[in-house]
Structure 1
Amino acid sequence: MPTVFTEGMHPGEFLVSEANGRLSRDVVTLAQTSITYQSGSVLAWATDISKWVHYAESGTHGTDTAGAINYARVDASGGDKQATVIARLAEVNGAQLSFLPGTTTNGKAAAAVDLIAAPHLIAVR
């Protein structure tokens, strides 16, 4: 019987377009977590620890406000990790964004509103 492989998201696969050069990108610190940051994971700035974390629609300390999108898969289970994110001036495919399990349709819509707001200007299509 043949072996079936499932290919995950490629780095930046969620991007429709971005600004010239690397204007859309930043290198940030992702906080340690047991949940892998996927390419397309929606992120929020946690004000209590001053690091980026998974967006959580009912979170606290800023984690309920989307502010960036993780560019490539990052395993931060062993500690904080540096990562590239899409932080501004981009257009993304909303169907390819990744959210924490249990995020509602309303939570995803709220994240899209957060991302299009200044200074991010990230349009979710």
Structure 2
Amino acid sequence: MTVLIEGRHPGEFLMTEANGQRSRENITIASGAGIIAPGTLLGKVAASGKFVASAVGATDGSQTAVAVALYGCDATSTDAAIAAIVRDAEVNGHVLTYHADRDQAAEKASAKADLAGVGIVVR
């Protein structure tokens, strides 16, 4: 019997957002960021203004979580344009995707606090 594993769905994590979808913006995921799943916490690289998965060990500005990928993409070898939640929203913390180095509870709590700073509340 074949076992199928279903990945994350676009917007699966989204509980509520501001009227008129003003919670969303089109963003660019930086080339080399790899596979980004829907619901991935993103940080903004200060030098380029592009986004990558928010990693604790980063020193380029992306260590601060400021957005959540609404859709997934493959930015392994080229930039990718997607929509992201960047403000005024509530998200389900149980279906968010964190960078692999955010494996401690304190690191996840810090990312949630970063998101609260831009108006994204993790429930």
The TM-score normalised by the length of structure 2 is 0.93
SS in 2 for 1:75: strand
Are 1:59 and 2:58 counterparts? yes
In the alignment, the residues of structure 2 paired with residue 83 and residue 22 of structure 1 have an alpha-carbon distance, to the nearest angstrom, of 15
Aligned partners of 2:41 and 2:53 also within 8 Å: yes
Q: CA RMSD in A?
A: 1.1
Runs of 4+ in 1 over 6 A off after TM superposition: none
In the alignment, the residues of structure 1 paired with residue 24 and residue 86 of structure 2 have an alpha-carbon distance, to the nearest angstrom, of 6
TM-superposition CA deviations, 1:101-123 (whole Å, max 9, x none)? 13122111111111111xx2100
SS in 2 for 1:110: helix
Listed as ranges, the gaps of 5+ residues in structure 2 are none
Match of 1:122 in 2: 120
The TM-score normalised by the length of structure 1 is 0.92
Q: How does 1:1-125 map to 2 (within 5 A)?
A: 2-33=1-32, 35-103=34-102, 104-117=104-117, 120-125=118-123
Give the number of equivalent residue pairs.
122
SS in 2 for 1:84: strand
In the alignment, the residues of structure 1 paired with residue 71 and residue 51 of structure 2 have an alpha-carbon distance, to the nearest angstrom, of 14
Listed as ranges, the gaps of 5+ residues in structure 1 are none
Displacement, 1:59? 1.1
- Give identity over the alignment, percent: 39
In the alignment, the residues of structure 1 paired with residue 42 and residue 85 of structure 2 have an alpha-carbon distance, to the nearest angstrom, of 10
Displacement, 1:48? 2.2
In the alignment, the residues of structure 2 paired with residue 55 and residue 79 of structure 1 have an alpha-carbon distance, to the nearest angstrom, of 18
